Amino acid sequence: MEYLHKHKGYKPDMLSDGPLRGLMEATHGTLAEPLQKLSVSQEIPPELTATLDENIFWFSGFKTHHELVEASRLLKDSSGGFKPFEQFMREVRAIDNTYNRNYLQAEYNFATASTQMAVKWKEWEKDGDRYDLQYRTAGDNRVREEHAALDGTTLPPSDPFWNHYLPPNGWNCRCTTVQVRKGKYPRSDSKEAIARGQACTAKPKQQIFRFNPGKQEKIFPPKHPYFPKGCGDCKYKQLSYDPKNPNCQACKAIQKCIDRAPLLAKVTVKEYKNGGKVEAYSIIDKTTDDYKRIEKAASKFAREGKVVVITPKFDSPQNCPDYDVIYGSLKGTEYYGKCPDFKVGETWYEHEGFTTAKPKRAFRNMMTNGLIQCDRLVIEDPGLTKRYMQRSIGERIKRGENIKEIWIKKGSDLELLYPKNTDGQ
């Protein structure tokens, strides 16, 4: 919103800019979580995972576009002047609450159910009509009457009923479909089942749910109002491109982000039973000695059950379109524009090594260079006494330097140097 206020408006091509892309990435990260969890717990073809994930990104992109259009309408007051930022933010919070609380919760629930159905459908396709499929509700007093009418519907996968009425059939729909042995349950009349499905989704806002996530390989309804209409065979695969159409401009910006998405992908390099793990961005060269030292430092925190992300270096952070996506949390601090080596949760750390054989110079260089990037450092052991190093840190603090934590890395272990442990060691 600071970015929007600073630019005094919103244009769809701004979607690929750092702060606005960050909002898009955050939405995508939330809605893609069910797919990521499912891909860990069971084997899903990578091509299907990529296709479904891209659909989630498109949905997140156009949702962000609509959200920003609404927010931009609040920038001006009744006389046409621009509102102070504080007033603008107060009014924007209502939009935030609608899109990123109420809507997002329903969308997350839908993504969870839709992902499960899409993956199951791909498995059922392998069996053809050897088994039947049966529609089932949650079976409690919260089931919607129109959904209850579909409970027990039993038909082969090839029946046209499943083209439009495979659950979820609405926001927060808890219905599911299971594979059953042929002949165990009497088959339903297809025409009657389709008529009940049409009644279930008869209202205009319900008709968007008439699709099959597995067949169409889409998590969100293709006719959702976030998505533009009349895309045809556009080269951007979304619109019959019109450069003056705001939706076309948004589409082009979203495609630009998708094209760059592999650069911002993360991989898990270490994982522990207590939930801790080390992730690293794919664009990082993991063969260098510097990376290996950083990974060892990061692993210490991961072994304690924390999630650690190793981040890339950018030559010109301020001019890099991806900087704010990764380092946006540094905005407002003296380290904005810097590239610390990794973060533990939302806390940033810089790792520093040395090349000189002179221990005191090595320690001095690591402290000086590291504190430019971050106020929390992990430094390689220079071979000095702990007392000497702590005294040197104390002198820096007296001079006004901002220091939160200093860790000494000894092999694969870390030892806290500052602040001192509670036992005074």
In the structure, what pLDDT confidence band is assigned to residue 151 with cuts at 50, 70 and 90?
very high
- Checking if the pLDDT of 366 tops 60, the result is yes
Segment 310-355, tens digit of pLDDT: 999 887 666 676 788 788 888 889 999 999 999 999 999 999 999 8
Q: Which fold has domain 265-418?
A: Trna Endonuclease; Chain: A, domain 1 (3.40.1350)
**Average pLDDT score over the chain:** 91
Q: What Cα–Cα distance (Å) separates residue 270 from each residue in 288, 302, 368?
A: 17, 8, 30
Per the structure block, which two tokens stand in for 95? 């939009």
Report the pLDDT value the prediction gives residue 318, as an integer from 0 to 100: 65
Segment 43-72, tens digit of pLDDT: 788 889 889 999 999 999 999 999 999 999
Report the pLDDT value the prediction gives residue 262, as an integer from 0 to 100: 67
- Checking if the pLDDT of 143 tops 90, the result is yes
Q: Which residue has the higher pLDDT, 266 or 106?
A: 106
Residues 19 and 3: their CA atoms lie apart, in Å, by: 7
Report the pLDDT value the prediction gives residue 279, as an integer from 0 to 100: 93
Report the pLDDT value the prediction gives residue 425, as an integer from 0 to 100: 38
In the structure, what pLDDT confidence band is assigned to residue 235 with cuts at 50, 70 and 90?
low
Per the structure block, which two tokens stand in for 360? 């005191």
Other Cβ atoms closer than 10 A to 116 = 19
Residue range 64-83: average pLDDT? 95
Report the pLDDT value the prediction gives residue 352, as an integer from 0 to 100: 96
Cβ atoms of residues 365 and 396 within 8 Å: no
Q: Which residue has the higher pLDDT, 18 or 144?
A: 144
Report the pLDDT value the prediction gives residue 236, as an integer from 0 to 100: 56
- The domains of the chain are located at 2-261, 265-418
Q: Which residue has the higher pLDDT, 31 or 22?
A: 31
Per the structure block, which two tokens stand in for 309? 């992300």
- Checking if the pLDDT of 309 tops 90, the result is yes
Cβ atoms of residues 297 and 303 within 8 Å: no
- Checking if the pLDDT of 267 tops 70, the result is yes
> What's the DSSP call for residue 103?
I
Report the pLDDT value the prediction gives residue 45, as an integer from 0 to 100: 84
- Checking if the pLDDT of 83 tops 50, the result is yes
Report the pLDDT value the prediction gives residue 424, as an integer from 0 to 100: 39
In the structure, what pLDDT confidence band is assigned to residue 17 with cuts at 50, 70 and 90?
confident
Q: What Cα–Cα distance (Å) separates residue 351 from each residue in 32, 225, 302, 365, 411?
A: 31, 47, 16, 12, 14
Residues 6+ apart with CB under 8 A from 386: 408, 417
In the structure, what pLDDT confidence band is assigned to residue 11 with cuts at 50, 70 and 90?
very high
Q: For tokens 């927010």, what's the residue?
A: 71
Phi, psi of 284 (to 5 degrees): -80, 135
Residue range 224-239: average pLDDT? 70
In the structure, what pLDDT confidence band is assigned to residue 422 with cuts at 50, 70 and 90?
very low
